[in-house]
Amino acid sequence: MEYIPLSVTLGFTSGIGITIGTMQIKDFLGLQMAHVPEHYLQKVGALAMALPTTNLGDAAIGVVTLGTLILWPRLGIRLPGHLPALLLGCAVMGVVNLLGGHVATIGSQFHYVLADGSQGNGIPQLLPQLVLPWNLPGSSFTLSWDSLRALLPAAFSMAMLGAIESLLCAVVLDGMTGTKHKANSELVGQGLGNIIAPFFGGITATAAIARSAANVRAGATSPVSAVIHSVLVILALLVLAPLLSWLPLSAMAALLLMVAWNMSEAHKVVNLLRRAPKDDIIVMLICMSLTVLFDMVIAISVGIVLASLLFMRRIARMTRLAAVNVTVPDDVLVLRVIGPLFFAAAEGLFSDLESRITGKRIVVLKWMQCRCWMRAAGRLPALCATPAGRL
């Protein structure tokens, strides 16, 4: 995490926020869409075409829920506004139903099939069962070297992204609490959890900035709050699953819109656009665009490579030759090498040196202020052994 530039992390987190926010527009407005395209630009076009099908009931619920989430912090109440916002959204849903309107809920849009073949709506009221991932219904996985080779690139990418996201979350929380996280403990715990989760039907998970930040703002001071959170989720699954099935999707979309806004860190993006060097702005915008248009793997890979190249160019520009103010004969040249000498800086330095040694019999180079010596400097003896001069 220490070696990934802020412009890269900010670019992909803001890109994720834009992607999540765009995905919620359909449910937030209750749009009627038979198919949602995968590509982002096509998705935006399809959403725009579907705007005339807006369900006013869903839109009203979404607006009330989102408005509550935005205004709640101004009330100065330590309790997070998510639950009150959902309750107000459900109250609006009751009014819409009384007026004869139709509202999409979790129960009306999602269905499940149990092991005995029985079907249900909404969220199943039972704990996940221990099942080997390759024995799940519909799985075509067979344990072989070919399968492992095919999975390794994706697994490595997910591990890297998960580590980046979790450590980024830890850094954000450090800024909120004034503490210092333990990166190794964070990653080991996350790794163990992600190894066990698939055996209970789970998928790869990381630390969530939005929920963690809400946890801190609610007064959490230790990891015990995360344990309590997990217990409450299990209790909600076992006890409140039938009630949760009545939650309107537009209210849930409003919650996710708020999550997307928090994840995008718009204030940091604006600050970077105003004050950062042009190279950092370019890297951030490219990472953001690639995250939105393609995926995070491409965005982070390209972002890190581009940031590294731009950084090397910036460092290379610091390497230069400076004349030394000493009295010497006219055919003697004394220069000081300033800055790191490495492959990116070598060509420019040698070109400058070659232009200076014309007509000089002796060239003296002082290296006291040269911070780095690499094999790129191996060209110096050959250069200075030409008829133009000697080292």
Confidence at residue 390, expressed as pLDDT on a 0 to 100 scale:
47
218: left (phi over 0), alpha (psi -120 to 50) or beta: alpha
Q: Coil, strand, or helix at residue 246? A: coil
Instruction: Note whether residue 132 is domain-resident.
Output: no
**Which residues are registered as beta bridge partners of 111?**
121
Last residue of a domain, one of 210, 242, 274: 242
Instruction: Note whether residue 302 is domain-resident.
Output: no
Which parts of the chain sit beneath pLDDT 50? 387-391
* CA distance readout (Å), 15 to 11, 62, 212, 265: 6, 23, 20, 10
pTM comes to 0.76
Confidence at residue 374, expressed as pLDDT on a 0 to 100 scale:
59
Instruction: Note whether residue 138 is domain-resident.
Output: no
* Helices (H), ranges, 294-362: 296-316, 343-356
With a CB cutoff of 8 Å and minimum separation 6, the contacts of 137 are none
Long-range contacts of 291-298 (CB under 8 A, 24+ apart): 291/11, 291/12, 291/14, 291/15, 291/16, 291/18, 291/19, 292/15, 292/18, 292/19, 292/40, 293/39, 293/40, 293/41, 296/12, 296/15, 296/16, 296/161, 297/157, 297/161
Residue 234 lies in domain: 153-242
Chain mean position to CA 252: 22
Instruction: Note whether residue 13 is domain-resident.
Output: no
Instruction: Note whether residue 10 is domain-resident.
Output: no
Kindly report, residue by residue over 53-84, the tens digit of the pLDDT. 999 999 999 999 999 999 998 888 877 788 89
Confidence at residue 389, expressed as pLDDT on a 0 to 100 scale:
45
**Residue 372: what are its φ and ψ, rounded to 5°?**
-145, 135
Instruction: Note whether residue 162 is domain-resident.
Output: yes
Last residue of a domain, one of 219, 242, 265: 242
Residue 251: count other Cβ atoms within 10 Å of its Cβ.
29
Instruction: Note whether residue 191 is domain-resident.
Output: yes
Spatial contact of 339 and 345, defined as CB atoms under 8 Å apart? yes
Instruction: Note whether residue 87 is domain-resident.
Output: no
Confidence at residue 385, expressed as pLDDT on a 0 to 100 scale:
53
CATH code, domain carrying 358? 3.30.750.24
Kindly report, residue by residue over 119-167, the tens digit of the pLDDT. 888 888 888 888 887 777 677 777 788 888 888 888 887 888 788 778 8
What is the number of structural domains in the chain? 2
Last residue of a domain, one of 206, 227, 242: 242
